[in-house]
Structure 1
Amino acid sequence: MTIVVDSNLVVALALPLPYDALAVQAFSLWSRQGEWLIAPLLFEYELTSLVRKGVALRQLREERALPVLHQLQQSGVETIAPTPELHRLALRLAERVGQSKAYDAQYLALASRENAPFWTADRRLARAAQSAGLAWVHWIGELTTDHYPL
């Protein structure tokens, strides 16, 4: 099965975040089950930004930034190049979930096109998407036996 993953989940594999144990559990499970993990190309830029943020917030020492970024880039998430259709879909989905920007909607668009679940640590995004009828959007806190046999 294909799963779209948010960059905030991947960065939790290396930085101390409130949901890091859930992220590790999810990636372990997805790996065991042979899931194909994908993200929009934007993911690569977000990883770099999140690692830098980790340094700025003192969650990560400066000298560890490059090795951690390399580790995260090897997490097994394949990035998918955008297409004009994906951008148009992202614009529509951003409107649908009430977002003023379309960054998160790039993930939603990819998941919609691939008919795949999208997992995120952004609870507000997940709630907005679910309220807009996008039942395939999941917050990492929902990872239970309802979704996967843990």
Structure 2
Amino acid sequence: MNDGLTPQRLPGQVHHDRQIGRPPPRRPIALVRTRGRLYRYFPSKGAILAALIIDAHDDLGAAAEQALARAQQRSVLERRMAICHGVRDWSLDHPQECSLIFGTPVPEFEASADAVGPASRVPALLTGLLVEMVGTGEYDLIGQLPISDDVRRALSPVREKSPPRYP
């Protein structure tokens, strides 16, 4: 029997289950245990978790990007707050997904490199705002806390590629 569940449709099925009142699993690994049919589409529990993690990070990134887009004509501080509120609202609306990506690690699970891009979306938005603040002079990195020589040496490869106002 083909139930139509594929790796691409797995996260949607989880959302559908929640909408029709099916209780969500208490832990992400419980989803894997209760849906044996998933093994037809994924080689392992780790692959299922990786798909769910990537989807959760993508949803979170999209929520943050939408919040930023709504505040685009506002100050940098207001845009930062919009991103933070977008992340918080998503977290409250998606507690299982939030727990999956920010909660207790799953024993013996190692995230795939495919999760790096989706997981970087929110930090990239916040970093973009910081770069903008430094570029416009709203934030003076040089006048902030002193940086030790050891830290400066460790960061030198990054600093070489950064805008000139970075310490």
The alignment's TM-score, normalised by the length of structure 2, stands at 0.25
| Structure with the bigger percentage of helix | 2
| Structure with the bigger percentage of strand | 1
- Specify the structure having the higher radius of gyration (Cα): 2
The alignment's TM-score, normalised by the length of structure 1, stands at 0.27
Larger RCO, structures 1/2 (Cα 8 Å, 6+ apart):
1
